[in-house]
């Protein structure tokens, strides 16, 4: 079985890029997920460092895909320009998308060449869909298929799509279009907030009631910590969950509260006609019980 250096040298020769590589370092990675290639220097005088998992599984394909990046950088038609690359610290979304798109371009060519690859189409598609949580699954799948089938990219296109992703979108933006459920879920997973939870309630009357309840608790029960979760609003007191409010879109709130005598949680519903004064009294009594 050929070792990593032998395979690497064979690939470099096959791609015809040996004359442009000044130095080559090969290091070990702990898994295929940690593999990468670092390219430094100017075109024609490149210093290359590869970090490759030392395992026979898809070793040729895993190595070949890394050197396709080098071939792209050296290809005048690819128009690689490092100054165009999105900054990872200032533009993490664009940089992550840039990496995904270039990976798709690399791995789609590996498949078309008939080379077995750890990052096959299925895995690459799953990674892309997972990275684009703002899209419906069907939409992300359609975009991936379009990108995967594209015969060639220039670096300018990759950067342009990374920063102007709307060019790839086909979904209608009119206000009457229902937001796919998975987009809604992903929005909350990306950053829970009390405001987001309140926005789930269509009724302005009920929203105002809940906002008043939150204001009352914040003002009169300083020890209660009000926090958003991925699914609702929590009232915490001395590290104990007292109350959970889960807004629903049918103008109803699921209200779960700790029942001290039984140490169990009981669930009620709140709607536009509910008396929130009763809820305030329940919270007041519950806090006083803790303070005894």
Percent of the chain with pLDDT over 70: 88
190 has a pLDDT exceeding 70:
no
Flag the least confident range among 81-90, 139-148, 246-255.
246-255
Q: In the predicted model, what is the mean pLDDT of residues 13-19?
A: 94
What integer pLDDT is reported at residue 126 of this predicted model? Answer: 87
Mean pLDDT of all residues in the chain? 83
What integer pLDDT is reported at residue 112 of this predicted model? Answer: 95
Which CATH number is 194-291 given? 3.90.1150.200
The C-alpha atoms of residue 23 and residue 158 are separated, in whole angstroms, by 28
Task: Give the pTM.
Answer: 0.61
**What 8-state DSSP symbol labels residue 272?**
T
275 has a pLDDT exceeding 70:
yes
9 has a pLDDT exceeding 80:
yes
Rounded alpha-carbon distances, angstroms, from residue 169 to 21, 133, 142: 39, 14, 9
32 has a pLDDT exceeding 80:
yes
148 has a pLDDT exceeding 90:
yes
**What 8-state DSSP symbol labels residue 246?**
E
Percent of the chain with pLDDT over 90: 36
Q: In the predicted model, what is the mean pLDDT of residues 178-186?
A: 54
What integer pLDDT is reported at residue 284 of this predicted model? Answer: 77
Residue 152 region by backbone torsions, left for phi larger than 0, else alpha for psi between -120 and 50, else beta: beta
167-193: buried (b, 16+ CB within 10 Å) or exposed (e) per residue?
ebeeeeeeeeeeeeebbeebebeeebe
CA nearest to 223, candidates 211, 213, 235: 235
What integer pLDDT is reported at residue 113 of this predicted model? Answer: 96
103 has a pLDDT exceeding 70:
yes
What integer pLDDT is reported at residue 172 of this predicted model? Answer: 38
207 has a pLDDT exceeding 60:
yes
The C-alpha atoms of residue 141 and residue 129 are separated, in whole angstroms, by 7
Q: In the predicted model, what is the mean pLDDT of residues 126-142?
A: 83
The C-alpha atoms of residue 70 and residue 247 are separated, in whole angstroms, by 52
Q: In the predicted model, what is the mean pLDDT of residues 15-27?
A: 94
What integer pLDDT is reported at residue 81 of this predicted model? Answer: 92
pLDDT digits (tens, 9 = 90+) for 157-180: 999 998 887 777 754 344 455 555
What integer pLDDT is reported at residue 109 of this predicted model? Answer: 97
Considering only residues 99 and 2, tell me which one the structure prediction assigns the higher pLDDT: 99
Cα-based torsion angle of the residue sequence 13, 17, 20, 21 in order, rounded to the nearest 10 degrees: -60
Among 65-79, 119-133, 232-246, top mean pLDDT goes to 65-79
Which residue ranges make up each domain of the chain? 1-58, 75-190, 194-291
What confidence category does residue 246 fall into, taking pLDDT thresholds of 50, 70 and 90? confident
């Amino acid at each position: 079985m050929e070792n990593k250096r032998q395979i690497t040298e064979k690939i470099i020769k096959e791609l015809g890029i040996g004359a442009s590589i000044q130095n080559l370092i090969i290091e070990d990675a702990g898994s295929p997920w940690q593999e990468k290639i670092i390219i430094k220097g100017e075109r024609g005088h490149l210093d290359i460092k590869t970090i490759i998992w030392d395992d026979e599984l898809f070793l040729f394909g895993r190595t070949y895909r890394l050197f396709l990046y080098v071939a792209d950088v050296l290809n005048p038609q690819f128009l690689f320009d490092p100054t165009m690359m999105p900054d990872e610290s200032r533009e993490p979304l664009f940089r992550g998308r840039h990496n995904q798109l270039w990976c798709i371009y690399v791995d789609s060519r590996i498949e078309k060449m008939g080379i077995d690859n750890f990052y096959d189409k299925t895995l690459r598609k799953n990674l892309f869909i997972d990275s684009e949580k703002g899209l419906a699954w069907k939409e992300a799948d359609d975009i991936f298929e379009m990108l995967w089938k594209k015969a060639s990219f220039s670096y300018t296109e990759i950067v342009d799509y990374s920063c102007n992703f709307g060019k790839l979108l086909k979904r209608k933006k009119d206000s009457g279009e229902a937001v796919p459920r998975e987009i809604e879920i992903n929005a909350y997973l990306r950053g829970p907030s009390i405001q987001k939870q309140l926005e789930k309630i269509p009724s302005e009357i009920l929203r105002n009631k809940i906002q008043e309840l939150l204001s009352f608790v914040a003002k009169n029960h300083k020890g209660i910590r009000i926090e958003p979760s991925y699914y609702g609003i929590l009232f915490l007191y001395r590290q104990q969950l007292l109350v959970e409010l889960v807004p629903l879109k049918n103008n109803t709130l699921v209200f779960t509260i700790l029942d001290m005598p039984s140490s169990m949680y009981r669930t009620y519903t709140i709607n536009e006609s509910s008396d929130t004064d009763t809820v305030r009294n329940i919270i007041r009594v519950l806090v006083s019980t803790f303070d005894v």
